Structure 1
Amino acid sequence: MIRSEAGRRRLLLLGTALPLLTAQAEARWPARPLRFIVPFAAGGNSDVTARLFAARITGRLGQPIVVENRSGATGAIGSEAVARSRPDGYTLLIGSPGSIVNGPLLTAQPRYDPMADFTPVALLGRVPMVIIVRPGLPATTLAELVALSKSRPEGVTVGTSGTGGANHLPLELFKAATGANLVHVPYRGGGSTLPDLLSGNVDGVLIELPSVLEIHREGRGRILGVTSARRSSLVPEIPTFIEFGLPGFLAESFVGLFAPTGTPEPIVRTLQAAITEAATDPEVLARLASFGAEPPVGDDLSTPGIVAYLQGEMTKARRAIAIAGLHPE
């Protein structure tokens, strides 16, 4: 009985001390290096952006940031690892459309819920997409592309990074909005489309702007439209899809920082402040601009703003998935 009473007292004291210990841990954060988990291979847009911001905010946080690539299952392996990690601010996810939007929607039994298992910290950048066609295709504008596709029983072939991917879904929305007879040709990744574009085996490609910027500039392909709200400073001569006549037509690849749900708000706010500061650094802005990315501003740096943005992206993705007749697997 005495032993039981003593045990109850210890439990009571522990319960009283835990909030204090947690508060002390938050106050000392970060006390050791952080990890940014990129759920894709090194060298891609997510990886480059993660390393850019990690290098800039480590000074403000006072601890190094290790960028770790953990690829597999279209981003699900690395994302799940972060979702299941301790919400202490030391393990964070670099998320993108494949791992946060499209992948979970097209998985019959997803390993994580992107809206329930993560707290959005900040968007680090947004990259618009473009439609680029081979030089010999008799179309110099989106209007001409649509008209040409309708005049051909076999249509016009357009490659993307893969069925259900971030490039495929905007293509389905474009086809639905215009009635264009565009034949989808899925590849294993956006980079795999380019040899066939250059050799003329596919008429066009829908892909992120940075991937084909030099091809366009060198005349080996011709960009017809960009999916951003405004013309890109990298190709100011190219009109947007909105200018073509599709109000509100936006499609982009985003890169964002996400924490496991339950991460203390003071830690999230500290990370947001560090990223906000980095996003005004001239070198960061120049690097983002060099690959056509828009820097984070306004709602991109607040959790509620990013939640609203992701809800909109998921609504568009669900509509495109239904149009394409895709089913979770």
Structure 2
Amino acid sequence: MPTARRAAFAALAAAAAAPAAARILAAPARAADWRPDRPVRLVVPFAPGGNTDLVARVIGPRMSERLGQPVVVENRAGAAGSVAAAQVARARPDGLTLMIGSNGPMAINPITRTDLGYEPLRDFAPLGLVVRTPLALAVHRDLPARDVAALIAHAKASPGRVVFGSPGVASTGHLTLEMFNAATGAGITHAPYQSGGALTPDLVAGTVAGAFVEVATVLPLHREGAVRILAVTAGRRLRVAPELPTVEEAGVPGFRAASFVGVVAPAGVPGEAMAALHAALAAAVRDPEVRRRLEEMGSEMAGEEEASPAGFAAFLQRETEWTRLAAERAGLRRPQ
């Protein structure tokens, strides 16, 4: 993204984040003054087993230790996360209901869907970003491209014939592919699947030439030789696979993309409860065992600023604008 546009988005993010941050900071932030008197629900807006679910189950027990009550992970799938998000947005703002906030319900759905029943930046109070999970640019083992530059050249030499799959239209993998095409002119064709589980076997079989998929999904396949990871969409090389270059290192300046996972509460939770909940989340994220497990999944831990309520609010605004650009590039329009 050009420097001027990045600067404009940064200013917009700061302006948008200011009201949310002000609400959090204006209320008494005495974490020691508030403790839940019942178990806290941590709603995951997807089925069990995915990245968001795994993150919730790693941080939940550590949050429970700090809060003195169980943190119960509750999976509530439907409409790409929108069903759970709408329900949590309407939940009583007493600090006893939280939600895992990720790309779908927090950034993608508001751009591509109507009648959500919620507005992320209005109806949720961010607690903090936990991790980013970069994507791997993975290709079939027989594709005649050993690096990103060769992939771009190969795609340009065969216009429209190089096909990448994704877990579905408007998925993070799809939007990342569209931004890659925009940045490089590669002209790779998109083939949507119904899920990541349906895509992976076809990537291994060579039905599709490649895909942008979460690192944890394809790293074992890469090490087995079933697929080849050309690069990762992270800001720096991953601790779990330091041998893999970033897309930026491979010659596409400024190119980054990731699934993200944070925690949000319904808007209106009192300041002392927000402070206690954030303190519990921060303690969980600082725990060495939690960090080790999340990094082994191919995730990058959030920095101190983005792990704060105000920092996560600003992050969500930036992510929404990135998603809007990618959706426009993909020709996706929110129905009127």
1:157 aligns with 2:147: no
**Alignment coverage as a number of residue pairs:** 307
Task: State the partner residue of 1:317.
Answer: 323
Task: State the partner residue of 1:73.
Answer: 79
Larger radius of gyration: 1
Q: CA deviation at 1:269?
A: 1.3
1:189 aligns with 2:195: yes
Aligned to 1:179, which of 185, 189, 204? Answer: 185
Q: 2:176, 2:257 within 8 Å by CA — same for their partners in 1?
A: yes
Aligned to 1:279, which of 274, 281, 285? Answer: 285
- Counting only pairs closer than 5 Å after superposition, residues 85-96 of structure 1 correspond to structure 2 as 85-96=91-102
Listed one character per residue, the Cα deviations across residues 23-53 of structure 1 (whole Å, up to 9, x for unaligned) are 9xx9453111100111100011111111111
Q: Give the TM-score normalised by the residue count of structure 1.
A: 0.90
Structure with larger RCO (C-alpha < 8 A, sep 6+): 2
Q: Give the TM-score normalised by the residue count of structure 2.
A: 0.88
Task: State the partner residue of 2:173.
Answer: 167
Q: CA deviation at 1:110?
A: 2.4
In structure 2, what residue type is equivalent to 1:102? I
In structure 2, what residue type is equivalent to 1:279? V
Q: 2:135, 2:257 within 8 Å by CA — same for their partners in 1?
A: yes
Moved more, 119-128 or 268-277: 268-277
Distance in 1 separating the partners of 2:61 and 2:160 = 50
Distance in 1 separating the partners of 2:325 and 2:247 = 18
Distance in 2 separating the partners of 1:204 and 1:85 = 41
1:289 aligns with 2:295: yes
SS in 1 for 2:300: coil
Runs of 4+ in 1 over 2 A off after TM superposition: 26-29, 244-248
1:114 aligns with 2:117: no
1:135 aligns with 2:155: no
Identity level (%): 46
Q: 2:159, 2:188 within 8 Å by CA — same for their partners in 1?
A: no
Task: State the partner residue of 1:148.
Answer: 154
1:37 aligns with 2:43: yes
Distance in 2 separating the partners of 1:220 and 1:199 = 9
Listed one character per residue, the Cα deviations across residues 58-113 of structure 1 (whole Å, up to 9, x for unaligned) are 11110011111010011011111100001110011111101110012101232210
Q: 2:34, 2:273 within 8 Å by CA — same for their partners in 1?
A: no
Alignment RMSD: 1.7
Distance in 2 separating the partners of 1:192 and 1:95 = 24
Q: Show structure 2 runs of 5+ residues with no match.
A: 1-28
- Counting only pairs closer than 5 Å after superposition, residues 252-267 of structure 1 correspond to structure 2 as 252-267=258-273
Task: State the partner residue of 2:234.
Answer: 228
Aligned to 1:214, which of 192, 214, 220? Answer: 220
Moved more, 304-313 or 171-180: 304-313
Distance in 2 separating the partners of 1:185 and 1:91 = 37
In structure 2, what residue type is equivalent to 1:57? M
